[in-house]
């Protein structure tokens, strides 16, 4: 049974909207009506909030002009990432008055400015829609420079095209193997002075290569000017999880191993590699999403409250969470590959790359010692969904003699495709007997005008705000955690498309009652509770 809370929420909101505290927290979390256009629009009370700069829309808008970047140069302008993410983000930034500087697209192709503008127009039309007014402004800012990443003379021409910019922002939306050449030539051409640089994941392939990459970047750029972008950290739902953790006092007493039995993090995709076979052959599920996206989620779930009010307080707290994570052992991982992967274009006939991975992670600290964190990610699974399930322990005494069947209490955080926070509990069933039934208290949010993560993160980088970017030590600690299970340390097991991975993965979760397979709502409006699917779907074992 689902208990709808809309009526309660409406009454509560009527009372709370008159409160200055509500106005502050509502803006920080999500302003459904409008986004504030400037720092002053937030009100003076918001400026006292300890990490308002990490949470509010348009933070950094009060950055001194001298500290803002004055040109955006993005490498890989003809590539897939630019087409799907960067151009739509740039149009949105123009629409919200967050971009008014020159934008120089860079790639090896011998394109003209008009070809770049045509590509940008095609991109925004296909991804989110064309805004004629905003795009006209964006087109006026766009320029194109052809650069051979190995040719120093190309970078001299790029320097000239920047027209005397004093605080450039370089965005490397290119393969990691090109980072070293580009960083070196930017420095030798004089372009790296006072510049910021954004690099895309993956940040290396293992701990050793991540350390080497970080050392290379630091050779030419100060750490304070290096922005390692993981777009997952810019998602509204991920920020919502962080906010929910520390904005609600009822969580803290129970947010530890005394009350929490296990935590499960699932990232499921109901599709395959979709033409990215060559990339996936080099990555696999562990490198692609677990080492970065999902371990970042675990860090947000397990970190202590930030002890400082500055912008790096959150990243300091996450660093301590990463340091507490123990390296994953071979017996705590199962790798899988969906049947048919080897038939994908540009995939080796005998490939042993995993398209599915399930693992068991432990932290060594007072709060989380002994609590298993079960993480899995895979392609060609039954649903496309990302969800965190926090399973609580059962009450110490069975007061009503109901036995121990049924679900224990839980908190559920859905990250995508919708944003949900839900509490699973037991209530008395109607009638004379003191017996209970299972219910889920559900708050569901479907934002209609959510800020895309690339818009948020590019805007942050322009203003030098690094809170939502991965820091060097956090990246290296995450690689330390997964380093023992990279490659073929355990065999890759086949699984049928449309299932939850190889059956062998079930063994990792036996001690906590099995995996909780997340399910989306059915078309008739009913919601499938975890562990209570209809007969036509695959269930789990509570």
Distance CA 336, CA 352 (A): 9
Mean pLDDT, to the nearest integer, of 283-301? Answer: 95
Is the Cα dihedral 341, 344, 346, 349 positive or negative?
Answer: positive
- Quote the pLDDT of residue 66: 54
CA 169 vs CA 78, 105, 115, 490: distances in Å: 18, 12, 23, 42
Residue of 98, 185, 231, 293 marked active site: 293
- Residue 425 sits at φ, ψ, to 5 deg, of -145, 175
- Quote the pLDDT of residue 45: 31
Q: Does the structure show a pLDDT above 70 at 98?
A: yes
CA 94 vs CA 90, 170, 298, 459, 484: distances in Å: 6, 18, 34, 11, 45
Distance CA 240, CA 236 (A): 6
Distance CA 218, CA 237 (A): 32
User: What are the strands, taking DSSP E only, across 181-288?
Assistant: 196-200, 226-229, 260-268
Q: Does the structure show a pLDDT above 90 at 55?
A: no
Kindly state the tokens that stand for 510. Answer: 């036996």
CA 237 vs CA 57, 388, 431: distances in Å: 14, 12, 40
Contact 450, 463 (CB under 8 A): no
The DSSP output letter for 401 is -
Mean pLDDT, to the nearest integer, of 149-177? Answer: 93
The top-scoring range by mean pLDDT among 40-49, 433-442, 504-513 is 504-513
Residues 6+ apart with CB under 8 A from 305: 246, 317
Q: Say if residue 416 is exposed, middle or buried (CB neighbours under 10 Å; 0-12, 13-18, 19+).
A: middle
The verdict on whether 26 is a catalytic residue reads no
Domains of the chain: 2-49 (no CATH), 65-229 (3.40.50.720), 233-392+472-512 (3.30.360.10)
Distance CA 95, CA 204 (A): 35
Contact 428, 402 (CB under 8 A): no
Q: Does the structure show a pLDDT above 70 at 457?
A: yes
Max Cα–Cα distance, the chain, nearest Å: 86
Contact 65, 463 (CB under 8 A): no
Q: Does the structure show a pLDDT above 80 at 283?
A: yes
Contact 264, 392 (CB under 8 A): no
pTM of the model: 0.81
Mean pLDDT, to the nearest integer, of 501-529? Answer: 77
């Amino acid at each position: 049974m689902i208990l709808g809370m809309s009526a309660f929420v409406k009454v509560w909101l009527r009372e709370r909207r008159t409160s200055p505290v509500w106005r502050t927290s509502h803006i920080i979390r999500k302003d459904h009506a409008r986004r504030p256009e400037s720092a002053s629009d937030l009100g003076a009370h918001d400026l006292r909030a300890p990490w308002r700069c990490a949470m509010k829309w348009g933070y950094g808008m009060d950055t001194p002009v001298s500290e803002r970047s004055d040109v955006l140069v993005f490498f890989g302008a003809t590539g897939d990432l630019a087409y799907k993410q960067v151009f739509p983000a740039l149009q949105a930034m123009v629409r919200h008055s967050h971009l008014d500087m020159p934008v120089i697209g860079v790639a090896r192709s011998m394109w003209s400015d008009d070809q770049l503008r045509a590509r940008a127009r095609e991109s925004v039309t296909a991804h989110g829609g064309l805004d004629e007014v905003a795009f006209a402004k964006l087109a006026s800012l766009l320029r194109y420079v052809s650069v051979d990443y190995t040719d120093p003379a190309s970078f001299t021409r790029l320097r000239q095209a920047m027209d005397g910019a004093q605080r450039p922002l370089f965005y490397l939306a290119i393969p990691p193997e090109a980072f070293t050449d580009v960083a070196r030539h930017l420095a030798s051409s004089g372009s790296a002075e006072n510049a910021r640089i954004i690099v895309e994941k993956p940040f290396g392939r293992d701990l050793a290569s991540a350390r080497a990459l970080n050392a290379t970047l630091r050779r030419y750029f100060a750490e304070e000017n290096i922005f390692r972008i993981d777009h997952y950290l810019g998602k509204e739902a991920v920020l919502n999880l962080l906010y929910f953790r520390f904005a609600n006092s009822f969580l803290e007493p129970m947010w530890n191993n005394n009350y929490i039995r296990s935590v499960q993090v699932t990232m499921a995709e109901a599709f395959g590699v979709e033409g990215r076979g060559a990339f996936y052959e080099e990555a696999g599920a562990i490198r692609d999403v677990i080492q970065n996206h999902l371990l970042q989620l675990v860090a947000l779930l397990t970190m202590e409250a930030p002890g400082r009010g500055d912008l790096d307080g959150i990243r300091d707290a996450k660093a301590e969470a990463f340091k507490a994570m123990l390296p994953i052992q071979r017996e705590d991982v199962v790798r899988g590959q969906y049947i048919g992967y080897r038939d994908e274009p540009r995939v080796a006939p005998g490939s042993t790359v995993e398209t599915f991975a399930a693992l068991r992670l432990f932290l060594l600290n007072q709060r989380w010692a002994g609590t298993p964190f079960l993480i899995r990610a895979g392609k060609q699974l039954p649903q496309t969904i990302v969800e965190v399930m926090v399973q609580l322990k059962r009450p110490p005494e069975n007061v009503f003699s109901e036995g121990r069947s049924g679900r224990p209490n839980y908190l559920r955080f859905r990250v995508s495709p919708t944003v949900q926070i839900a509490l699973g509990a037991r209530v008395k069933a109607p009638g004379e007997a003191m017996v209970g039934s299972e219910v889920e208290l559900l708050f569901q949010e479907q934002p209609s005008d959510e800020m895309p993560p690339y818009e948020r993160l590019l805007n942050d980088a322009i203003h030098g705000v690094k809170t939502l970017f991965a820091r060097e030590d956090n990246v290296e600690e995450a690689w330390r955690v997964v380093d023992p299970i990279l490659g073929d340390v355990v065999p890759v097991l086949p699984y049928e498309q449309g299932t939850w991975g190889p059956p062998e993965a079930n063994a990792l979760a036996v001690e906590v009652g099995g995996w909780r397979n997340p399910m989306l709502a059915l078309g008739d409006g009913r919601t499938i509770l975890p562990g209570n699917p209809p007969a036509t779907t695959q269930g789990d074992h509570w």
